[in-house]
Chains A and B, each alone.
Chain A
Amino acid sequence: MIPTQKSDSERLITPTMLVLFLVLATVPLWIARVGLYPYLGIEILIWSLYALAFNLVLGTAGLPSFGHGAYFGIGAYAFGLCQFNIVANLWICLAAAFVIAGLAGALVALFISHRRGIYYAFMTIAFGQIFWTLAIKSHKVTGGEDGLLKIARLPADLGFASFDLAGNVAFYYFVLIVFALAVIALWRLVHSPYGRVIAAIKQSETRAAHLGYNVWLYKASIFTLSAAVSGFAGGLFAMAQLAAFPDVMSLHQSGYVVMMTLVGGGLVSFWGPVVGVFLFLIARDVIGALTNAWMLYFGLLFMAVVLFRPEGVAGAITAAWQNRSLHSMRQQGGSALRLLFGGERWR
């Protein structure tokens, strides 16, 4: 036992992160050989970032948000519109995606942060639908259902050197670097004093309020931050797709990110959302190649996870890794789920 040894939650970069980043860095070398394609790698990274941002609200703060696709989509549109109308600079446009989605999130947070449970959940759905309808109906701004087309992958200009990101492999590495930085930032955020207060509010709003924390402000700020990071991921997604479409804002797609996060085990593990995105997107491609009814099988899988494995895949892996009993992990998953809809009073 070395007394000075740091626990993972105090580190800037954990061993898990290093291994993950290194493995991800080799992906373009072999992904084509296993029958997949580099674009899938990009999609997985972007959705992972989005799911991690979403899990700030669902897993960390225990707030049921079912309309998160709106912020992802707003980020994508903001990126495209900034590129067309303001300035075609990668950094400014990504910042615009972050800021505009954050502003939308802050606006929504004003209306919902004093609500809880089912009323909170449905307010997020309502706002998600409002933004989605706006995106579809504002033909002049967003291109309506056709989407905003011809978005370019702008070159990454670092001042001393400029990288062309038009190719999938170059863009993959760009997204990987951004993803790595964002993961480190989110890891620190979750384990910061601020993150601890958020976790305390998830346990009990009343208790946190009695300790003198401004619960409303914490709930509003984490939602805003989550929306902003989701929007940032959306900006990357617009670059990946070379377009921004309204369908990522639909209720269905917002539901997918909830499913990914829960199947992966976002309620008990920081890495849950990433695991879920991997499973979901690879299942989509592999099962989707065999049968066009892949949603049927994924739906059945999801039902089975909810019934038998509320701790999710990451929970099961963590349990095996740390030699903790699966049972305690499952209880942790169960109690995290329970807290989401405030089952404290449920016998």
Chain B
Amino acid sequence: MFDLLPHILNGLTLGLLFALIALGFMLIVGLMEQINLAHGSLFALGAYFAMQLMGPRPPFPPDLAHAWLAMPLGWRYVATLILAPAAVGVVGIAIEFCMRRTYGKDPLYGLLLTFGAAMVIEETIRLTWGTRDYVLQVPQGVSGGFLFGDLIWSTYRFYAAGIAVAIIGLVWLLIEKTSFGATVKAGAHDSEIVRALGINLTRLRLLVFVFGTMLAAIAGIIVAPIWGIRPHMGVDAVIPAFLVIVLGGVGSFWGAVVAGLLVGLAVGLTGAYASEWSLLSMYVLLVAVVTVRARGLWGKKSVLEA
């Protein structure tokens, strides 16, 4: 049993990361009933932007770059956590402006449009940064490892899991406990009435979408030091994100969080015994659940199913 404990902990931290990756995706699916397949590419873009900002050649004018590089690593990291998602948010605005044309039509339009957008972003990443791997620097406080029991644990994993918990909590508060969240959910439910009440739904949807893309970018920055930065990381992120949402059920916040943890545990535990097959376990898990349950774990009725 005690042999199992590290793997379970490992799986749980991984699960929190999966939940974090799925968060932006879930927000857009849950509140707008749109599938954003560009989620993974935006996740990757966040990581690349952060890498550029933290690296030796920040994308600033010379004077500013000099001042930026003179700042301590920790400050730069915190600033990057804000700047990079903001930059990705701008890309999100561009996508939303295209996606606008598909609202009120079938969600498949949005899915296909964002699939095209994902291709464009991934190819742009390849053109800009090449196909090589990059490493994202993190402050010393969160890197390295510590000894607990007889094992060395990576500090960064726990830091990342902590950030994931904090962000999941904040997003839950935002959509469940604020009037903003209530209005947006009402807009997804009945857009006509919400408009008739004098609410600018167009702007609200833009905000939700941009918020979702920024969450993708944050997830990218948090996960990058663990997974590494390479063009394919977008695809590696969007599939688990999509899987977590389908497993948890469309429209269920805690469904997605629990699904993320389950996927993490499944991947972590199979990784311990048969690492070759660890990625397979999440698909098997999904097939097992969705074969029996029509809407994943706690999914609600939505336009995403006939």
B235 touches A251 (CB 8 A): yes
A303 touches B239 (CB 8 A): no
Given contacts A251-B239, A341-B303, A344-B306, contact A298 B106 (CB under 8 A): no
Interface residue B98 (Cβ < 8 Å from any Cβ of A): yes
Fill in one digit per residue for A281-297: 1 if any B CB lies within 8 Å of its CB, else 0.
00000000000010110
What residues of chain B lie closer than 8 Å to A310, measured between beta carbons? 109
Fill in one digit per residue for A91-120: 1 if any B CB lies within 8 Å of its CB, else 0.
000000000000000000001001111110
Q: Count residues of chain A with CB under 8 A from any CB of chain B.
A: 48
A307 touches B106 (CB 8 A): no
| Closest beta carbon of chain A to B99's beta carbon, Å | 9
Interface residue A262 (Cβ < 8 Å from any Cβ of B): yes
CA distance A130 to B281 in the complex (A): 9
What residues of chain B lie closer than 8 Å to A251, measured between beta carbons? 235, 239
The contact of B286 among A123, A299, A302, A338, by CB within 8 Å, is A123
What residues of chain B lie closer than 8 Å to A339, measured between beta carbons? 106, 306
CA distance A298 to B116 in the complex (A): 8
Interface of A is mostly: helix
The contact of A302 among B116, B239, B302, by CB within 8 Å, is B116
What residues of chain B lie closer than 8 Å to A262, measured between beta carbons? 112
Interface residue B276 (Cβ < 8 Å from any Cβ of A): yes
- B124 nearest CB neighbor, chain A only: A296
B117 touches A307 (CB 8 A): no
A123 touches B108 (CB 8 A): no
Fill in one digit per residue for B107-126: 1 if any A CB lies within 8 Å of its CB, else 0.
11101110111111011101
CA distance A298 to B117 in the complex (A): 10
- B123 nearest CB neighbor, chain A only: A296
B283 touches A126 (CB 8 A): yes
Fill in one digit per residue for B271-297: 1 if any A CB lies within 8 Å of its CB, else 0.
000001101100110110011001110
The contact of A118 among B123, B239, B246, by CB within 8 Å, is B246
| Closest beta carbon of chain A to B86's beta carbon, Å | 24
B290 touches A307 (CB 8 A): no
Interface residue B305 (Cβ < 8 Å from any Cβ of A): yes
CA distance A239 to B119 in the complex (A): 30
Q: Count residues of chain B with CB under 8 A from any CB of chain A.
A: 49
The contact of A119 among B101, B113, B294, by CB within 8 Å, is B294
A123 touches B120 (CB 8 A): no
What residues of chain B lie closer than 8 Å to A307, measured between beta carbons? 98, 101-102, 113
Fill in one digit per residue for A229-257: 1 if any B CB lies within 8 Å of its CB, else 0.
00000000000000000000001100100
A341 touches B104 (CB 8 A): no
B287 touches A126 (CB 8 A): yes
A118, A125, A258, A334: most-surrounded residue (chain B CB, <10 A): A118
Interface residue A346 (Cβ < 8 Å from any Cβ of B): yes
CA distance A337 to B98 in the complex (A): 18
What residues of chain A lie closer than 8 Å to B112, measured between beta carbons? 258, 262, 302, 306
- A116 nearest CB neighbor, chain B only: B306
B243 touches A126 (CB 8 A): yes
B303 touches A122 (CB 8 A): no
The contact of A346 among B122, B192, B303, by CB within 8 Å, is B303
What residues of chain B lie closer than 8 Å to A118, measured between beta carbons? 35, 107, 246, 250, 302, 304-305
The contact of A293 among B116, B123, B277, by CB within 8 Å, is B123
What residues of chain B lie closer than 8 Å to A130, measured between beta carbons? 280, 283-284, 287
CA distance A310 to B101 in the complex (A): 12
The contact of B106 among A116, A303, A346, by CB within 8 Å, is A346
B246 touches A122 (CB 8 A): yes
| Closest beta carbon of chain B to A142's beta carbon, Å | 14
B235 touches A252 (CB 8 A): yes
A129 touches B239 (CB 8 A): yes
Interface residue B132 (Cβ < 8 Å from any Cβ of A): no
- A303 nearest CB neighbor, chain B only: B116
| Closest beta carbon of chain A to B301's beta carbon, Å | 9
Given contacts A122-B242, A125-B239, A303-B113, contact A111 B291 (CB under 8 A): yes
What would 6 A/B residue contacts be, using CB atoms closer than 8 Å?
A: A114-B294, A116-B305, A118-B302, A130-B283, A259-B115, A340-B108
Q: Which residues of B contact A (CB under 8 A)?
A: 35, 98, 101-102, 104-109, 111-113, 115-120, 122-124, 126-127, 192, 235, 239, 242-243, 246, 250, 276-277, 279-280, 283-284, 286-287, 290-291, 294-296, 302-306
Extra 18 A-B pairs, beta carbons < 8 Å, given A130-B284, A296-B127: A64-B108, A116-B305, A119-B294, A119-B305, A122-B242, A123-B290, A129-B239, A205-B306, A293-B127, A299-B116, A299-B117, A299-B119, A300-B116, A303-B117, A334-B105, A341-B304, A343-B303, A346-B104
